[in-house]
Structure 1
């Protein structure tokens, strides 16, 4: 051990400072999943299957890159600590790349404009990997307290929920207010500024944070990945989270289509996001309290069931008033709050348990694999939704005014509701098998 163990308690300033990083992760995690697929199908005029490929490929690249970013941050030697320098370096590049994502000039070619999106989105994904992985790795080193990590995650998820509401509600509103390609360009620039605020806030807000450092694990990246994969608790938790990220990705991708094509109401996309995130802002502390009372795993199961119920109820979108759909999505938001608090509080427990047992710091590798899984789920979500659109016969256009057949409307509804509900319920198969006691003691040495 090189730096001692981080103190159990954290100051409010440190919690808030760390939480501000979710402004960057929330904006980048939300807006492309919400806006990029409809931008490609309804503005560039790309077929749904091709658009799905463009959205998925950069995220698939992140799946490969995230463990490498974790390994690099584990071995970074810097007076500011191994993680904070990456928050600034990668965060600034992320903001710049995102400003360019929707800013393609009029190239008079679908192929050229699609290539622009693909290349710039790859740059965004690369920068995001080197920001997100060190950021997620920090809690295991900031505090050794089991419940303190839950409180730290409460701040993070609260900021995340607010950012999702702000970015998810304002991005389509700005696009619609300005209109056309200029609407997308201005929206992209504003979201880049929001990302920059989160990057600088997290970097400066954690400058006085305690960091308990342990020696980086020996061996190659492949060897460390093998060790990480041998953790049963980590495998179960990761599988659960990836399936739920896939479900969330489907719902994010479907919001714009559900609002415009199924509900047919102006501003419905913004209302859906307010219904989704509003409950999360209010109930995140409540879920944290539930976790402290009944345990993180049980709280995670309960919130997952609430999310699945809300998504299932949204399957009636074609037959019920819009208000009923909004209420179902609000129920999804209630469950979503817990489904963010609990896994993000359980991951540092797994990484810290490994450090206690081995004396080696593999937090970066753990979080690299974790964010790779999350990225894969969130990427495959829009890809799966795009495939559902293609099967349903969705009609792409450059003006977004194409009349959709009934089969496409059914595909939109099911891709937004039943598919995510089934994925969340399926994830419980792994979650119910997770076991990790609070603050487990190190393994005893075997008797001679």
Structure 2
């Protein structure tokens, strides 16, 4: 992984491909498991909400722990790749547990089983996702190539998301037997793809080994005192509050507000298609415009796109089409140019501290993102329970439908616009970063 030698397509594909089955399982858990647990397994909505809240909060707390430990990992296989190989089978096992609980379990026992499965799944996902993000910042140190690395990562993430939104939602909607068979097949595929993909990745940078920072508290403090990182922490948190409930609310919106349940895979497909198209689109635009400015406008468009949901009522599928297309294209900017920009912030930390703390930095941003998602998923469960949501009843009360629309449309609109306003203060310019990069290269 020499900086001077361009990154080849085989490495790009291998790095991105191992994310696809993992993302499939993660997204399907996010968008369908609450409904599956309530309607098919018979768990109370509030109980599922509490489980997801605990899981996501722990998931968030475990991010900086795993990030810092992976920074300081000094195994022969590297700092990141061993984590990927350990996490894959754990993701498979807990995924099977979640979608295929024993038929003999009911009540408290079933709730405990689901709790262990969901919390275990999110823990294993963190063990994979944080080192994977960190590895992306290390594969190449060139800005333009980092755009490609995280672009391919996002492209493969979208493929996994699309498969979950189209194939996964269909299989789960066919009943428990289909969901169980899918879980076993997905678990096997995850292990095979990750192990194979990691084998194609080049050795990790020997010069980064042992430079992860010996003190985890100091590492976290470095993230907080970095003004660029600190501003992004707030922006990521407020935006995640806005969209944190959208994944779990989408099936409820489509089934009980729009009343076009069969269109859920279509909406997911449109969103993913727009995202796929805009992955190379954002990379192309980054050649001519500053990343920070492109991110700013993506926040504004995302807020307006989700805000359209406020207007949705029965049979208003055409509004959802516009919303899905705009949101899909805009939000993918944060996963392409946003991650590349974060890598530049990490380089600034190396300039100041002499350490390489990719895991800690990405874990910090992931922490606030997951914390916000956990808060919102828990809020969704309690809101549905408070609104007197009735499982499997086609006609829900006006209060239920109103709350679904406000959480999916009004809240994201406000949060994204606030996030955009705050992001106008981001001060790491291309000129300033170029000076940092030159200084680091001069150090050798």
TM-score > 0.5, shorter chain as reference: yes
TM-score between the two structures when normalised by the length of structure 1: 0.90
Structure 1 residues 332, 201: closer, same or farther in 2, change over 3 A?
A: farther
Query: Which residue of 8, 25, 43 maps to 1:46?
Result: 43
Query: Which residue of 427, 430, 434 maps to 1:435?
Result: 427
In the alignment of these two chains, the number of paired residues is 436
The aligned counterpart of 2:358 is: 363
C-alpha contact 2:77 2:203 (8 A) present in aligned 1: no
Q: Does 1:284 align with 2:279?
A: yes
TM-score between the two structures when normalised by the length of structure 2: 0.91
The aligned counterpart of 2:71 is: 74
The aligned counterpart of 1:131 is: 128
C-alpha contact 2:232 2:365 (8 A) present in aligned 1: no
The aligned counterpart of 2:57 is: 60
Q: How does 1:207-286 map to 2 (within 5 A)?
A: 207=202, 213=208, 215-286=210-281
Structure 2: gaps spanning 5 or more residues:
440-444
Q: Does 1:23 align with 2:20?
A: yes
Q: Does 1:293 align with 2:285?
A: no
Query: Which residue of 343, 349, 369 maps to 1:354?
Result: 349
C-alpha contact 2:78 2:203 (8 A) present in aligned 1: no
Instruction: Give the whole-Å Cα distance in 2 for the aligned partners of 1:212 and 1:169.
Output: 43
4+ long deviations beyond 4 Å: 208-212
The aligned counterpart of 2:418 is: 426
Query: Which residue of 103, 106, 114 maps to 1:117?
Result: 114
The aligned counterpart of 2:199 is: 204
Instruction: Give the whole-Å Cα distance in 1 for the aligned partners of 2:394 and 2:317.
Output: 22
Instruction: Give the whole-Å Cα distance in 2 for the aligned partners of 1:170 and 1:410.
Output: 29
C-alpha contact 1:27 1:163 (8 A) present in aligned 2: yes
Deviation at 1:212, TM superposition (A): 5.1
Q: CA RMSD in A?
A: 2.3
Structure 1: gaps spanning 5 or more residues:
none
Q: Does 1:343 align with 2:335?
A: no
Query: Which residue of 146, 150, 153 maps to 1:153?
Result: 150
Query: Which residue of 376, 381, 385 maps to 1:386?
Result: 381
Higher mean C-alpha deviation, range 204-213 or range 84-93: 204-213
Instruction: Give the whole-Å Cα distance in 2 for the aligned partners of 1:251 and 1:166.
Output: 18
Deviation per CA, 1:59-92: give whole Å up to 9, x if none. 2112221111112211222232211111111122
Instruction: Give the whole-Å Cα distance in 2 for the aligned partners of 1:198 and 1:424.
Output: 35
The aligned counterpart of 1:184 is: 179
Deviation at 1:349, TM superposition (A): 1.0
> Secondary structure of the residue that 2:137 maps to in structure 1?
helix
Deviation at 1:184, TM superposition (A): 2.9
C-alpha contact 2:295 2:338 (8 A) present in aligned 1: yes
Higher mean C-alpha deviation, range 156-165 or range 325-334: 325-334
Instruction: Give the whole-Å Cα distance in 2 for the aligned partners of 1:205 and 1:263.
Output: 46
Instruction: Give the whole-Å Cα distance in 2 for the aligned partners of 1:387 and 1:343.
Output: 32
